[in-house]
Structure 1
């Protein structure tokens, strides 16, 4: 057999009080796109940090082309031909594309005194020309779309003559069409002999671009080198979670009682939007990126200024002047950018739960910690927080458990209207199933729920009805029996044969 481009041999990693990896072994062939799969907390990130030189293994070896490597720092891994493309891109916004591509190892002249910007831009242009020549190496990186910034990271790997590229959730912020372009770039990269480790929670993407997969659970490899051409997605998911997932059938709890009335609502990105939301209903909102979905939720929650129109809750018109008024009316927003807008990373999960309702747990400025802890315990048990550590910093929890804590936050605040914006972005398949069932449980309890999602199977899974938006307006309303990906997309893009539903 040919020598593997990359081999992990019996890798273990221990931290004080915990063993993060145990006896991890698998290999990746030259030119192979190899999926590394597992739920959040399975050990994938720790393994990639060992590969990229951030951590050193407690036991075991990393081999590149059959040679044992000892990476003492990230620069050692880079020199060995390993590139890491992170989910949250490691770029400096005010620098140019070329400057970011040479970050940490600038080209200089005159004995290292002056950075040779012209040569950097020339070499950057050569690397970019192989995958996307439209990107200007002299442009500020902040002026590029997320998909283009991903391409810049890939070009940087080419610049470094990387033999192994590890991609950690590379498409979490991309549209389907942007993923299609990225998939072609990845396939071309592999065809040139570069080996790729592809980490993603999106099974459709994994089966589209990867040949084999290694599946991790609880710090161990439960299956190495799974042939994805001969394995069903459900079987791979079962390997990942180690249990039967909850049934994915939709159960409606919608009533005829109107809880929220939106009439002729407009803001800087939405125009004349009207709809009713019933108690116990899950209302989906679909559309392309930029269609106004997020802005609709922000307007209802008071986060964006409304220029005209009204929102009524139980027949009472809200003063949508700021988020406090919306919170007081029982509206809670679970934002798209969970890490940036949804949590205070360095605070405990209990503190994050109490954020909008601290007055409930304090008197004369003194917090009743016993009452706060008891409430947090009850609500976090209800949402099945794992691990159940209330004083742990929320940034140390997985994305799915951070989302559960935000749900508990709005339950603590007494919110009856919950607005979910991309509720499962960056969340593994097991936690995704739990979030779906939490949404359904909230509806069963009489909450009014709106779910915005870019994933059409998701919006179809959780919704009783779906509103389709385009250019800031609702262009179709689809009942559950009308839902299909083709129908939603035809309305979202404005296909000539689409029939506009009642809005």
Structure 2
């Protein structure tokens, strides 16, 4: 929306396939446009921290063959840890290592003080780690299967302990978890591909709730979803933290990282360039650590030449 306000003079707003109004952007606020888009006023909630001193996940000197180098950090119970950085800085690759999707070349991972081996997603799921991937449609869902079936993917052993799915139990748990994430429309047998991006994202979150996951990894959690669903995802992440889950959020949107995170790791060239506490969080501080010093100096020099 900031791009719309920066480039355009007038905007036509649609909702549910119908034009709800046209506005002169010089005469309205972004908040007013958002209210027209979603049909209600969104509450502007402030960040609340639920982090405890209890370390749930401890990562030391974690590395992959190419993209991640010597990454160390702790994640606390109830904490939302943000990871920022430029595209290619190793953010997604770090989450894939923690989710067992890629194999680490070195380093250790501990949960509640116990060392674990993450050789596959199966290992991560068993350890209580769940990934909400950046490429939702390609890596997060089975498009032709129902909401219920997609929700059960991480815990199929619970619903089919002898190889035969207990559909009664599956539908009961699916209904409970989908109400929890506010799925709309509430049609559990409908193929997930027919739902909006925001509701697909809610279904993936419900999957990890059904699996009893304690550590949730969100990679670009609001990419490709509308502003109303974005607010709901924010609220869900904060509720999960309040309930004692530990959350890692990777996002290219700096306001999103600042809105959600108790603490932010800034990655550059595959390693952690800086750790910023809540009191130090702002876009300038994150960008200063995310952008290589040579590029920053080159930009300043170019600016001086242009001024001259």
Q: TM-score, normalised by structure 1?
A: 0.58
In structure 2, list runs of 5 or more residues that go unmatched.
297-308
Aligned with 1:277 (options 71, 75, 78): 75
* CA drift at 1:401: 0.5
Aligned equivalents of 2:93, 2:140: Cα separation in 1: 16
Structure of higher RCO (CA pairs closer than 8 Å, 6+ residues apart): 2
- 1:439-454 alignment to 2 at 5 Å? 439-454=237-252
* Residue in structure 2 matched with residue 487 of structure 1 by the alignment: 285
Aligned equivalents of 1:480, 1:222: Cα separation in 2: 39
* Residue in structure 2 matched with residue 240 of structure 1 by the alignment: 37
Question: Once the two structures are superposed, what CA deviation does each residue of 1:394-442 show, in whole Å capped at 9, x if it has no partner?
Answer: 0111111100000000011111000000000011111000000000000
- 1:31-430 alignment to 2 at 5 Å? 203-224=1-22, 226-267=23-64, 268-430=66-228
Contact 1:265 / 1:271 at 8 angstroms: preserved in 2? yes
- Tell me which stretches of 4 or more aligned residues in structure 1 moved more than 4 Å: none
Question: Once the two structures are superposed, what CA deviation does each residue of 1:192-217 show, in whole Å capped at 9, x if it has no partner?
Answer: xxxxxxxxxxx112112222111112
Aligned with 1:471 (options 269, 282, 285): 269
The structure where helix makes up a greater share of residues is 2
In structure 1, list runs of 5 or more residues that go unmatched.
1-202, 499-503
Contact 1:301 / 1:323 at 8 angstroms: preserved in 2? yes
Contact 1:248 / 1:461 at 8 angstroms: preserved in 2? no
Aligned equivalents of 1:387, 1:249: Cα separation in 2: 29
Contact 1:253 / 1:281 at 8 angstroms: preserved in 2? yes
The alignment partner of 1:408 has SS state of: helix
* CA drift at 1:222: 1.2
Aligned with 2:260 (options 446, 459, 462): 462
Aligned equivalents of 2:120, 2:161: Cα separation in 1: 24
Aligned equivalents of 2:279, 2:197: Cα separation in 1: 32
- Greater Rg, structure 1 or structure 2? 1
Contact 2:34 / 2:41 at 8 angstroms: preserved in 1? no
Aligned-pair Cα RMSD in Å: 1.3
Question: Once the two structures are superposed, what CA deviation does each residue of 1:69-118 show, in whole Å capped at 9, x if it has no partner?
Answer: xxxxxxxxxxxxxxxxxxxxxxxxxxxxxxxxxxxxxxxxxxxxxxxxxx
Aligned equivalents of 2:122, 2:4: Cα separation in 1: 42
